[in-house]
């Protein structure tokens, strides 16, 4: 389902997210805002202090089974010498990096994160009180390394039944895309409760022919967003087909214990609307 940025929040959307697990909003952000933030991300990667230590995917070339797990479960990280040589060297050794304190590193990121319409949308879709969950700003690399983690089909809770209060919803905001081409995001639009798939981190080739035909990969342009349910629907991301892929993920949760304690400058927090402030009270004001 494709919507324009003036979309109405109604039962049709709720039915779409419950039955198919996703929808795309076209041109929600201006291309200029996205391009400006993307340029800031491309500067962040030049300083190792801006990102968490990357996992050494090259170490697992002969142990691909270990790569069918969350990235954080991998014990071997890149050595300091490799990291010090910069991403144009170490991109051949890892599949991506995630940035620390993104709201402090790129203050304009608040233009993407704090939108009243996002809050209204999430409250309506959950039909109950919800909170900001994790915010993840990442860069993924085009290389010859094996796939890992998000490159396999999975649900974020890694279970076959959604546990009470474990449900979340995500908004994916691509920061650099080839316009009008299919995104790397792949989505199986059938609720996992209706599938007999007792596995996680699997490849598309392991699916039946009929299920393969149902997988969607939306066409995305700069400024578009994808809203999806990562706990009830299997999804994955292909490895980038361009040099790097920069992407921002916003997560919304109903479990208060999982609400975000992201760092934000106090001045930036005070500039938010009343609705936005109430939604991110757990943020750490710096």
Q: What is the mean pLDDT of residues 84-92?
A: 96
210-238 tens-digit pLDDT: 999 999 999 999 999 999 999 999 999 99
Three-state SS string over 253-285 comes to: ECCHHHCCCCEECHHHHHCCCHHHHHHCCCCEE
Q: Are 17 and 204 in contact (CB under 8 A)?
A: no
112-144 tens-digit pLDDT: 999 999 999 999 999 988 889 989 999 999 999
- What does pLDDT average to over the chain? 91
Report d(CA 255, CA 241) in Å as an integer: 36
268 Cβ contact list (under 8 Å, min separation 6): 103, 107, 110
Three-state SS string over 44-88 comes to: HCCCHHHECCCECHHHHCCCHHHHCCCHHHCCCECCHHHHHCCHH
Q: What is the mean pLDDT of residues 104-115?
A: 95
DSSP annotation of 222 reads T
CA distances from 214 to 180, 208, 217, 227, 234 (A): 20, 10, 10, 18, 12
Report d(CA 152, CA 204) in Å as an integer: 8
Task: For residue 36, name the pLDDT band (cuts at 50, 70, 90).
Answer: very high
Q: Is the pLDDT of residue 199 over 80?
A: yes
Q: What pLDDT score was predicted for residue 160? A: 65
Report d(CA 248, CA 114) in Å as an integer: 13
Q: Is the pLDDT of residue 180 over 60?
A: no
Token output for 5: 């940025």
Q: What is the mean pLDDT of residues 24-53?
A: 96
Q: For the whole model, what pTM was predicted? A: 0.93
Report d(CA 73, CA 141) in Å as an integer: 20
């Amino acid at each position: 389902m494709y919507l324009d940025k003036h979309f109405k929040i109604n039962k049709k959307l709720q039915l779409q997210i419950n039955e198919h697990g996703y929808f795309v909003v076209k041109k929600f952000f201006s291309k200029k805002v996205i391009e400006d933030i993307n340029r800031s991300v491309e500067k962040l990667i030049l300083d190792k202090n801006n990102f968490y230590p990357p996992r050494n995917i090259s170490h697992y070339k002969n142990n691909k089974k270990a790569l069918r797990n969350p990235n954080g479960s991998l014990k071997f990280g890149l050595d300091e010498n490799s990291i010090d040589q910069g991403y144009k060297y170490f991109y051949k050794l890892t599949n991506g990096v995630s940035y620390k304190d993104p709201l402090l590193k790129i203050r304009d990121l608040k233009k993407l994160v704090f939108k009243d319409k996002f809050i209204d949308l999430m409250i309506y879709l959950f039909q109950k009180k919800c909170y900001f969950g994790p915010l993840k700003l990442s860069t993924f690399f085009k290389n010859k390394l094996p796939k890992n983690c998000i490159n396999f089909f999975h649900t974020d809770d890694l279970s076959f039944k959604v546990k009470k209060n474990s449900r979340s919803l995500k908004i994916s905001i691509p920061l650099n895309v080839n316009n009008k081409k299919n995104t790397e995001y792949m989505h199986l639009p059938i609720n996992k409760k209706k599938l007999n798939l007792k596995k996680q981190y699997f490849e598309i080739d392991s699916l039946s022919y009929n299920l393969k035909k149902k997988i969607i990969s939306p066409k995305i342009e700069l400024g578009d967003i994808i809203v999806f349910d990562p706990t009830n629907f299997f999804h994955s991301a292909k490895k980038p087909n361009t040099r790097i892929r920069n992407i921002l993920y916003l997560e919304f949760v109903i479990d208060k214990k999982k609400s975000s304690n992201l760092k934000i400058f106090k001045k930036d927090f005070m500039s938010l609307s009343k609705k936005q402030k109430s939604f991110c009270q757990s943020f750490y004001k710096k």
